[in-house]
């Protein structure tokens, strides 16, 4: 008998990947292809939807081909995707009418300021859990319908389809049979009411989006059809979808209220499971759908650190204070402290809870004996302090009382220990750090009946390392950090979502 396995399709901003996992959650085969973004004036960021499709298909073909050669039988596939990125295509031909407008794209910023001026921020936050921002799909979709010739009129007749990347890939993988998304992806569009779990009629009107263009919203585990046999050879059922950060939380088995994960990559994304009640908006944090299983929504609070790994990259590539990011751990450990140096990496403003887009970074406390080790250590410490501030705004770690970490930066042992010290709580690093893809595989397995529930998935989570707080008192460090943050801020006072 062929050994069962699960296929995770992990479509990210910088690459598309297909990973075949064993049913006990071990990555067996990885195929990856880089993906280009095009940058334009005014903060425009676009990708070619055909390239997104082609790289996804090629990586799936390669991974599934190797799996077949190794005698594996893929029970089901799951999709995890870059969120918010917006595509519109013709239903008849499947041809996109414009490039994919990527989540980072700022062209909707003016529209969002207008909405804030009109006093609509709290209404939007109440319905969607989001701060009005061009990051989310709504203003991208509105721009697209208004600027692509005839799109507005054609959309109203139902001839066009909108989708985030999951939906676009699903459409292509099923040969146009499925036009659907899952509730986690829908919750990032700024068009979806997270309380009612429906597209919000008022928001559709506000952003002038015709209902006919929207996908059906399903549970994160659902029958999403099958991958057409012409594409990969075997017909593979698609049984799960989630946006990348939610998928990572699922890969980290954060199924219980109070469980939290933080993914440390270029930026960092914290997600805290808050259970079945919609969270109240707070201090620039977002309320979002964490997962929806069998019609039961589990909500999450999300907070973003704009610059985490990017700080280390800047210290390494631009300032050349450390040979490469991986060496920052060793270098930080060569000094007892930062010698009073504090680095506030507000390169692109400050995210939650300060929410000050005009703030810019600073390095404070320099003296004649400051060395690269002090500054690099300060850059790493800043990541821990920012996590602390996010968690404080979110009301703490919750009853689980521990933080699960992943992403390339989570490999930094020195930083993970410092993080545990600053949070005063254990930090858990899993054996499999490909948590986004693992989450997609878990969803696929839940849908295929490989696992009989989330408890079974939770039992597969394995620890690689655990960092426990040393008990040292860091209150004075935190006070110095807060003082330095105040010095880089342009806006006074703590912003709330309805500013």
Q: Does 407 bind ligand ADP (CB under 6 A)?
A: yes
Dig out the tokens for 244 from the structure.
Answer: 């990348």
Interface stretch with ligand ADP, choices 107-115, 202-210, 307-315, 483-491 (CB under 6 A): 307-315
- Element of type H or E holding 194: none
Q: Which stretch binds ligand ADP (CB under 6 A): 64-72, 128-136, 143-151, 309-317?
A: 309-317
Q: Which stretch binds ligand ADP (CB under 6 A): 234-242, 402-410, 440-448, 489-497?
A: 402-410
387 binds ligand ADP (CB under 6 A): no
Identify which of residues 306 and 474 has a Cβ nearer to ligand ADP in the complex: 306
The pairing of strands 268-275 and 260-264 is antiparallel
Calpha distance 126→287 (Å, rounded): 9
CB-nearer residue toward ligand ADP: 3 or 14: 14
* Cα–Cα nearest to 76, from 450, 469, 334: 450
299 phi and psi angles, rounded to 5 deg: -95, 160
DSSP character string of 204-271: HHHTT--GGGPPEEE-SBS---EE-HHHHSS-EEEEEEEEHHHHHHHHTT--STT-EEEEESSSEEEE
Q: Which of 313, 348, 371, 482 binds ligand ADP (CB under 6 A)?
A: 313
CB of 321 to ligand ADP, least distance (A): 13
- Tokens describing residue 366: 């320099």
Query: CB of 170 within 8 A of CB of 238?
Result: yes
Nearest Cα neighbor of 183 from 293, 303, 304 is 293
Stretch of 173-181, 231-239, 326-334, 347-355 contacting ligand ADP, by CB under 6 A? 326-334
Contact pick of 104, 122, 266, 370 for ligand ADP (by CB under 6 A): 266
| Closer residue to ligand ADP, CB minimum distance, 107 or 411 | 411
SS (H, E, C) 421-452: HHHCCCEEEECCCCHHHHHHHHHHHHHHCCCC
CB of 353 to ligand ADP, least distance (A): 22
345 binds ligand ADP (CB under 6 A): no
Q: Convert residues 7-36 into a mask of x (bound to ligand ADP by CB under 6 A) and - (unbound).
A: -------x----------------------
Mask: binding to ligand ADP, 409-428, rule CB under 6 A, as x and -? x-xx----------------
**Residue 307 interacts with ligand ADP (CB under 6 A)?**
no
């Amino acid at each position: 008998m062929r050994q069962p396995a699960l296929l995770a399709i992990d479509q990210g901003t910088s690459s598309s990947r297909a990973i075949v996992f064993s049913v006990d959650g071990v990555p067996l085969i990885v195929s990856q292809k880089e993906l280009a973004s095009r940058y334009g004036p005014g903060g425009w960021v676009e990708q070619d939807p055909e390239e997104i499709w082609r790289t996804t298909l090629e990586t799936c073909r390669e991974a599934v081909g190797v799996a077949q050669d190794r005698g594996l039988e893929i029970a089901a596939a799951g999709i995890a995707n870059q969120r918010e990125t917006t595509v519109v295509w013709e239903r008849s031909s499947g041809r996109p009418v414009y490039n994919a407008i990527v989540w980072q794209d700022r062209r909707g910023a003016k529209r969002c300021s207008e909405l804030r001026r009109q006093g609509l921020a709290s209404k939007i936050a109440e319905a969607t859990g989001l701060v009005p921002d061009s990051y989310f799909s709504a203003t991208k979709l509105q721009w697209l319908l208004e600027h692509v010739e005839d799109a507005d009129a054609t959309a109203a007749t139902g001839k066009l389809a909108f989708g985030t990347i999951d939906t676009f890939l699903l459409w292509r993988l099923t040969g146009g049979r499925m036009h659907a998304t899952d509730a986690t992806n829908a919750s990032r569009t700024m068009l979806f009411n997270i309380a009612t779990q429906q597209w919000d009629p008022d928001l559709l009107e506000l952003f002038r989006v015709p209902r006919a263009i929207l996908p059906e919203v399903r549970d994160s585990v659902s029958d999403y059809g099958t991958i057409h046999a012409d594409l990969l050879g075997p017909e593979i059922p698609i049984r799960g979808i989630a946006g990348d950060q939610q998928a990572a939380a699922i890969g980290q088995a954060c199924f219980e209220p109070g469980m939290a994960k933080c993914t440390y990559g270029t930026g960092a994304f914290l997600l805290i499971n808050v259970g079945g009640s919609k969270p109240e908006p707070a201090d620039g944090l977002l309320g979002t759908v964490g997962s929806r299983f069998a019609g039961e929504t589990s909500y999450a609070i999300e907070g973003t650190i704009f610059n985490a790994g990017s700080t280390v990259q800047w210290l390494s590539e631009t300032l050349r204070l450390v040979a490469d990011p991986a060496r920052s751990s060793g270098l930080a450990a060569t000094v007892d402290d930062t010698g009073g140096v504090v680095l506030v990496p507000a390169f692109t403003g400050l995210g939650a809870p300060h929410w000050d887009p005009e703030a810019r970074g600073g390095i404070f406390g320099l003296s004649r004996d400051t060395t690269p080790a002090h500054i690099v250590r300060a850059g790493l410490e800043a990541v821990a302090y920012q996590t602390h501030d996010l968690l404080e705004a979110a009301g703490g770690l919750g009853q689980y009382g521990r933080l699960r970490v992943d992403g390339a930066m989570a490999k930094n042992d020195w930083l993970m220990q410092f993080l545990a010290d600053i949070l005063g709580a254990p930090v858990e690093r899993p054996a499999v750090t490909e948590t986004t893809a693992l989450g997609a595989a878990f969803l696929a397995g839940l849908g295929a009946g490989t696992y009989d529930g989330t408890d079974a998935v939770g039992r597969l989570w394995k620890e690689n390392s655990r960092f426990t707080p040393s008990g040292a008192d860091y209150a004075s460090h935190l006070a110095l950090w807060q003082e330095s943050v105040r010095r880089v801020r342009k806006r006074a006072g703590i912003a709330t979502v309805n500013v």
